[in-house]
Structure 1
Amino acid sequence: MLGFIAATASATDVPTSRDAQLADLAVVRDEYLVKELAYTPATRAQAAAKLRELETRAGELSSADLLVGLAQIGALADNAHSGARWRDPRALPKRRLPLRLLWFPDALVVARATGEATDLAGARVLAIEGLSPDALYERTKSLQGGSAINRKKYLPTLIESLGVLHALGLAKTPDRVALKLRLPSGKVVERTVAMIANDPASVEEERLWSPEPMPGETTWKTAITTDALPTYLADAEQPFRIVPFDDIDALYVQLRTNEDAEGHPIGEFTARVDAELAAKPRRHVIVDLRFDVGGNLLTTLAFMRALPSQATGRTYLLVGNYTYSAGIVSAAAVKKGGGDSVTIVGDELGDRLAFWSEGDNVTLPHSRFRLRYTNGTFDLARGCAGVPQCLDHLIDVNPVSLVPDIAAPLTSEAYFAKRDPALEAVRADIRKRD
């Protein structure tokens, strides 16, 4: 699970004095750049050059300038686990667009909207500041590292935030954004939308998918309604779920994280799955990790390895653009444990199979912005035993391929129709095999 910048104060309260900004940037140099191992020699040099550029502008940098510069320094590591973080809602700028965007494989969509933008919920974005979604991605991808899928998941949080597009030279003013959209009715509209006081309710990007209200959320309209939701979107506040599908003799097991959630110990859940399958063996097991954004991979590693052996038929492993970090390791464990009995269904993963992780956060003393460095690496496809920081020995799930056997992306078209292409594909495959 990722965000961008984390801080204990609002980003609009960042000290702008030269001394304060130089002190913060010195910490970036002394405690982040030297500890981040995902950099190559070339990208480390580029990051150092970017840092020197910021130092020459110290005292003149706006909050958004500093935010953008730090994000670009971290993104040069080209590693999804590295760089700037924004996980504490208090770190969000005081103003943000009154809408929340989701980047689907086929569209950029307004997932939620409020205030003067309420009527835009469910709209497809055709342009932002005159840039198509593809062009916008090319102009903003320097803010986030990792694969294109990973970048597109988290860039909207910055795109929506006060001053960011202006700092990049893409918007005329810092506090409003020009949009061109196709409304759910099909009508195309152009709208300049002003930033409003920030509502942190939707800080976790993966949670935006479900229209079910988030804690504390009251005034936001969602792109789809809460009735007749597909299984993968239902019970959005539940981190782990079991759903029996008696018509196909299958047990559906969904994990949205690999660690304890408040009131939901993950060990109790995995034990419940084992007990369920022992009491009523199933021909098929469907393991849905499409929104498993990670956590502690060791909490579920043995469980995932053994799960395919509990199906008398096939194990269907559902993966997608939000399968990330420990979620990817979990998927690899299922595939390695079940071998040819596992059918992978879904879309491209949320990160590469070779990535750097672990490490710790560095907090800047004045702005309180935070950057995460990484110092341990995995390569699930080929192994990384020749690298001193290789952690493959902890998981023993490589080499493995997680390319879907059956492509079933969660497109915006399927989302608005409340369809689940992956479960449809599973049912079709079971019928074909029968």
Structure 2
Amino acid sequence: MKNTILVLYIFISIASGAQNSNIDWQADINYLKTELPKKHYNLFMVKSQEDFNNGLDLIAAQKDQLSDFEMAVKLKQLVASMGDLHTHVSLRQFWDSNRFLPLNLMWFSEGIIVQGTTKKNEAILGGKLLALNGIPINIVIDSLSTLATIDNMATIKNTMPKMLPLIQALEYFGIATSDTVNLQLKNENGQTLNYMISSESTNRSNAVGVIPDPIPLCYQNRRAFFWDHADSKNNVYYIQYNQCWSREHVPSGFRGNVQDLPSFAEFQNQIIDTIKANNFNKIIFDIRFNGGGNSDQGTQLIKELSTLKKANKKGKLYVIIGRKTFSSAIINAMDFRNMTNAILVGEETSGKPNHLGEVKRMQLPSSGLSVQYSTKYFKRTDKDLNTITPDHIIEASFKDFKEGHDPVYEWIVNQ
């Protein structure tokens, strides 16, 4: 079926003809062919230089038949196929902000659920997505997955909910032919329904969604770089680490006042002092939403935790990981596994324990497409693993989410 969709796309794109373009795609392709291998740590760890060059030549041969968007997508697909999650072509400048389906999708144990939309589409909230325009969701995902490097199932669960509402991407694969798409859903009563939905901007005045009630700890401060909470009822010390950035390790491209950023050094001292001053039953370090940054600060904290007898005991220290745990957060997850007696709970990570990273960016000279690439290789295990698998796998259901349960936290508390 995947091949059928791709063949359908090729027929549509050739039949429609290329748009008039001021972009010199041949110049961009030549630049990418020369500069990306030169700048990247090792672009050819998964596929060969011959594969890369042949792929670029094939794209160049189609430049007079394809639109600018289609050319950009083909470059994105080729770079994604080289196997480095940190190396990719950004399509941001080619996305039409008016051509997004008003869907906030979340992947739960049941499948992909509509968690948010606009008021006029409120009837589909809580629905499980089965098909788009009659094409089964697994086939749609199979096609969209070529736009990203896919290391494992966790990568798919993390990236696909964000890609499915992109009408231009659906058109590229022949899944959609207009800004109106027929969704096939299964509602919470188990009934199957077909629903026509059209592109629409979502804002505070028209947005509706399923909100957990009550809101569990893990969702209370998602925007904070890091924070902690002493759960007196369960005698648990909860630490949530959402970004590997701080005043000491400033986010890439940050233009504000550095002093406005939280200090991780102060946070680390607060954690250590809190643990020393209390006799918690359990200590939970939650990095399930952490997409990375600079791993050094986390590594230093974990080293200090490893020396504390009150923390580093089997059955007392727990680390929550998940599909959004990526990059530097993966390094810190491996630090916990290698340096401490922590028990890892949650879902598999979207990145590999050994991975390329420490990214830089370059811009293609004619199109202006931004290309991110890796400059360093991080090795944390001698095993060839495509994910970090927790000691106990727990995936939330939509029912858990809606009723305000965090099954991972609750499982830990009950041990």
Fold match, TM over 0.5?
yes
| Paired residues of 2:212 and 2:402 also in contact (CA < 8 A) | no
User: So what's the TM-score if we normalise by structure 2?
Assistant: 0.81
Give matches, 1:267-416, under 5 Å: 267-310=265-308, 311-312=310-311, 313=313, 314-338=316-340, 341-382=341-382, 402-416=388-402
Give the match's secondary structure for 1:300.
helix
Q: Does 1:162 align with 2:149?
A: no
Change in 2 beyond 3 A, CA 1:112/1:41: closer
Bigger mean CA deviation after superposition, 344-353 or 118-127:
118-127
Give the match's secondary structure for 2:324.
coil
Instruction: State the distance in 2 between where 1:83 and 1:331 align.
Output: 24
Q: How far did 1:383 drift?
A: 7.3
1:199-256 C-alpha deviation (Å, 9 max, x unpaired): 6xxxxxxxxxxxxxxxx7443212x225301111112322212111224432111111
Partner in structure 2 of residue 72 of structure 1: 77
Change in 2 beyond 3 A, CA 1:309/1:244: farther
Q: How far did 1:290 drift?
A: 0.9
Unaligned runs of 5+ residues in structure 2 are 1-18, 252-259
Partner in structure 2 of residue 206 of structure 1: none
Partner in structure 2 of residue 233 of structure 1: 219
Partner in structure 1 of residue 96 of structure 2: 93
Q: RMSD value over aligned CA atoms?
A: 2.9
Instruction: State the distance in 2 between where 1:105 and 1:144 align.
Output: 22
| Paired residues of 1:98 and 1:195 also in contact (CA < 8 A) | yes
User: So what's the TM-score if we normalise by structure 1?
Assistant: 0.78
Q: Does 1:191 align with 2:195?
A: yes
Q: Does 1:131 align with 2:135?
A: yes
Change in 2 beyond 3 A, CA 1:408/1:158: closer
Give the match's secondary structure for 2:355.
strand
Q: Select 1:264's aligned residue among 239, 262, 265.
A: 262
Q: How far did 1:105 drift?
A: 4.5
Equivalent position amino acid for 1:61 in 2: L
Change in 2 beyond 3 A, CA 1:258/1:136: same
Give the percent of matched residue pairs that are identical in Structure 1 and Structure 2: 20
Q: Does 1:26 align with 2:30?
A: yes
| Paired residues of 1:46 and 1:76 also in contact (CA < 8 A) | no
Equivalent position amino acid for 1:415 in 2: F
Change in 2 beyond 3 A, CA 1:275/1:376: same
Instruction: State the distance in 2 between where 1:270 and 1:218 align.
Output: 40
Change in 2 beyond 3 A, CA 1:35/1:45: farther
Instruction: State the distance in 2 between where 1:84 and 1:105 align.
Output: 31
Give matches, 1:241-256, under 5 Å: 241-256=227-242
Instruction: State the distance in 1 between where 2:351 and 2:43 align.
Output: 14
Partner in structure 2 of residue 210 of structure 1: none
Q: How far did 1:19 drift?
A: 4.6
Instruction: State the distance in 2 between where 1:28 and 1:53 align.
Output: 14
Aligned length, in residue pairs: 378
| Paired residues of 2:360 and 2:373 also in contact (CA < 8 A) | yes
Give the match's secondary structure for 1:70.
helix
Instruction: State the distance in 1 between where 2:295 and 2:205 align.
Output: 34
Q: Does 1:150 align with 2:148?
A: no
Unaligned runs of 5+ residues in structure 1 are 1-14, 200-215, 385-398, 430-434
Instruction: State the distance in 2 between where 1:350 and 1:98 align.
Output: 26
Q: Does 1:424 align with 2:410?
A: yes
Give matches, 1:8-87, under 5 Å: 16-17=20-21, 19-36=23-40, 37-40=42-45, 42-85=47-90
Change in 2 beyond 3 A, CA 1:23/1:218: farther
Q: Does 1:178 align with 2:182?
A: yes
Q: Does 1:122 align with 2:126?
A: yes
| Paired residues of 1:317 and 1:343 also in contact (CA < 8 A) | yes
| Paired residues of 1:257 and 1:295 also in contact (CA < 8 A) | yes
Q: How far did 1:91 drift?
A: 6.2
